Amino acid sequence: MEFQFDDVDGMNAAASDEYGAWGPEIEVTQEMINGFAELTGDRQWIHIDVERATKESPFGGPIAHGFLTLALVPKLNPGTLKIVGHGNATNFGAGGLRFLAPVPAGAKIHGKSRLVSAEARKNGTLVTTELAVHVVGNEKPSLSYNMQILYMPKRSA
C-alpha cells in the first residue's frame, strides 16, 4: 500500500485488523545476544550464560533480550506500507509494546504488520502500525509493537 503522507482519510480507510505478509527471516545468534549484552550492560545469565541457562532457565537455554528483538524491528518490518511525499519521518514512540514469548538463541524470527491508524497533527501525520514478531513456526508472537511514526512535510527552501 502506498499513501501520500497527508492522506489521513485514505490510510484510515485502509486500516485493518488483518496483518500483511511476513517480512524477512533473521537468525538471532548467541553472538548477537552477547553483543547486545555488552552494548547495553544487561548481562543477565538468562541471556549470556549458555551452560547455566540450559540447566536452570525455564526456557531450556539462553534467550534474546526483549529489547534486542525490538531493536531488530527495522530489519524485520515487511515494508508493506509505503508513505511518500514527506520531508522526514521521526520515531514518535510506542502506542504499546509487549514481550509475549521468548526468542531462544539460534531461533529465526520474522515479522508482519498492519496499519492501525493515521492522525493529522499540526506538524504532520502520525501513523500507527502494529508489528508482530514471531519465532518462525510459532503461532504466538514474541513481540507486539504499536509503532508510531510522525511524517512531516517538506520544508521550503
Question: What pLDDT shows up at residue 99?
Answer: 98
Asked if 116 contacts 95 with a C-beta cutoff of 8 angstroms, the reply is: yes
On the question of pLDDT at 155 being above 80, the answer is yes
Q: How far apart, in whole angstroms, are the C-alpha atoms of residue 9 and residue 12?
A: 5
Distance (Å, rounded) from C-alpha 40 to C-alpha 2?
36
The CATH class for the domain spanning 2-152 reads alpha beta
pLDDT in tens, 37-62: 999 999 999 999 999 999 999 999 99
CA separation for the pair 53, 89 (Å, rounded) = 40
Position 157 scores a pLDDT of 66
Which residues of the chain form beta strands (DSSP E)?
2-4, 26-27, 82-84, 88-99, 108-121, 124-135, 143-152
**Cα–Cα distance measured from residue 141 to residue 98, given in angstroms and rounded to the nearest whole number:** 10
- List the domain boundaries for the chain: 2-152
Query: Could you tell me the pLDDT band of residue 77, with boundaries at 50, 70 and 90?
Result: confident
Specify the pTM. Answer: 0.92
Contacts of 121 (CB under 8 A, 6+ apart): 150
Per-residue confidence (pLDDT) for residue 145, from 0 to 100: 97
